[in-house]
Amino acid sequence: MSELRIGDLCARVPVVQGGMGVGVSLSGLAGAVAAAGGVGVISTAQIGWRDPDFGRNPIECNLRAVGEEIRKARAKADGGIVGVNIMVVTRRYEDYVKAAVAAGADLIISGAGLPMTLPELAGDVKIAPIVSSRKALHVIARHWKKKYDRKPDLVVVEGPLAGGHLGFSHEDIDAYTVTREKNYDDEVRSIIELADELEAQVVVAGGVYERSDMEHYLAMGAKGVQMATRFVTTRECDASDAYKQAYIDAKKEDIVIVKSPVGMPGRAIHNAFLDKVNAGERFMRGCRQCITTCKPDTAPYCITEALINAVEGNLDEGLIFCGSNAYRADRIETVADIMEEFS
């Protein structure tokens, strides 16, 4: 299997581990993936939630934790590649990028919006926008070239089968995944064509679960894949055992599209918490300063609180984000075993 080259960085296995917040992919998972030859990725989304001061100063706790988690991942990575995923819609986005750069991240992956200022903030650190359309990549690349004379080092193409927040409308999700009126492979090919012109490598995310999924995209011209859901049910994943068991217990029909309080559709495992939300109950107790698009006065629940509950194992009060293939998990694996499959 070919290597994944990101500038002067080289991953022996062409797998980028997707960033999963809150607290699902921290130093434990990212360090293990990096050590096994892939690209380990830490999600900065509310990364400091375990700090005793988080309730009063969430952003400050997060910024401290960015450096702490990168350093811990680096210690486990055995010289491998450690990256971070930072959402553009994060409050004080610029400070998170600067914290990751200062801590020595190898790669910054950024989506949930267009990362227009990322080259200025990242300096010499490798940068990768997450896009779901050729149009988005074109807009980003044109701006980066004109203002910074910089090209993406890597492009992550995230499709409609991905987990968590999705960069698609409900209508497009249905068209790609339910009615099949659209074939997302057509969009992937178009994005790869543009990325080739930019001399940027492409990895494809969303619905990747086994080696054959990767081979499908490599045959289309991608240089690797980004995979998240498969890594949740590993010993090294930073989530609680109860969170991992929710994936193992899930059936295909349990995986649903939800309306996130931050304004985007998302994919999650149906549970008692979603039943309460759908029944009109409101669970908004304060604001944790996470996403700029959230409106605390009208939001049905705090997504930070719901995700913390889930990752800690309080599932009946939590939102369990997942990818479309979560129901396929049937056991706890090791990162090394998965990476061997993709080698």
Q: Does residue 263 have a pLDDT over 80? A: no
Measured in degrees and rounded to the nearest 5, phi and psi for residue 203 equal -120, 145
pLDDT at 232: 98
| pLDDT score at 292 | 62
Identify the three-state secondary structure at position 221: coil
Structure-block tokens of residue 43: 């999600």
CB 90 within 8 A of CB 121: no
pLDDT at 15: 98
Query: In this predicted model, what pLDDT tens digit does every residue of 126-167 receive, in sequence order?
Result: 999 999 999 999 999 999 999 999 999 999 999 999 998 888
Q: For residue 300, what pLDDT band results from cuts at 50, 70 and 90?
A: confident
Look at 247 and 91; give whichever has higher pLDDT.
247
Burial class (CB in 10 A: 0-12, 13-18, 19+), 266: buried
pLDDT-wise least confident of 150-154, 242-246, 259-263, 325-329:
259-263
Question: In the beta sheet, which residues pair with residue 109?
Answer: 85, 128
* Rg of the chain taking only CA atoms, in angstroms: 18
What pTM value is reported for the model? 0.94
Q: What are phi and psi of 150, to 5 degrees?
A: -135, 145
Answer yes or no: are the C-beta atoms of 266 and 164 closer than 8 Å.
Answer: yes
Q: How confident is the model at residue 285 (pLDDT cuts 50, 70, 90)?
A: low
Higher pLDDT pick, 252 / 285: 252
Burial (0-12, 13-18, 19+ Cβ within 10 Å), 174: middle
Which residue stretches of the chain are H helix? 27-35, 58-76, 93-102, 118-122, 134-148, 170-177, 184-198, 211-219, 229-232, 241-249, 272-278, 303-312, 335-342
**DSSP per-residue string spanning 35-59:** HTTSEEEEE-TTTTTTSTTTTT-HH
Instruction: Please say if the pLDDT value at position 245 is more than 80.
Output: yes
- According to the model, what pLDDT value does residue 283 have? 67
- The pLDDT value recorded for residue 290 is 62
Mean pLDDT of the chain: 92
Asked whether 97 and 124 are in contact (CB, 8 A), the reply is no
CA distances in angstroms from 55 to 12, 64, 298, 320, listed in the order given? 41, 15, 20, 22
Mean of pLDDT values over 94-123: 95
